[in-house]
Amino acid sequence: MIVWLNVGSLLLGLLAWMLPLVDFVKKQRNVQTLAVMSMGACALSLSFQIFYHYHLVQIGDWSAIMDITGSTAFASAVLIIVTIFLNAVTLIRHRKGVAA
């Protein structure tokens, strides 16, 4: 059952990237709402990874923790950076469209 945390984390991470892209494909009026939902999906995705690591600590699977911690840290940084970048570009694009 705990493996669903990884699946959920992956799906929420993809959702965090897809929501800003919705505005690129079809310009939305509620771009701020999409940005908040995207950042929330990113936060939940990272929380799922934290809960998964907590589970590994509870069961004492130290080799698994040592194996996945580096890649999880790297993937988390990429998720945060890309999510912030996509949302910033979307918000800037929307602001320029409103001002014009």
Which tokens belong to 35?
A: 């940005």
Q: Using 50, 70 and 90 to split pLDDT, how confident is the model at 98?
A: low
Q: What are phi and psi of 13, to 5 degrees?
A: -65, -45
Distance CA 5, CA 100 (A): 44
| Counted domains in the chain | 1
41-88 residue pLDDT tens? 999 999 999 999 999 999 999 999 999 999 999 999 999 999 999 999
Kindly give, in sequence order, each residue whose CB lies less than 8 Å from that of residue 90, ignoring residues fewer than 6 positions away: 20, 23, 24, 31, 34, 35
Q: 3-class secondary structure for 31-57?
A: HHHHHHHHHHHHHHHHHHHHHHHHHHH
Domain coverage including residue 53: 4-99
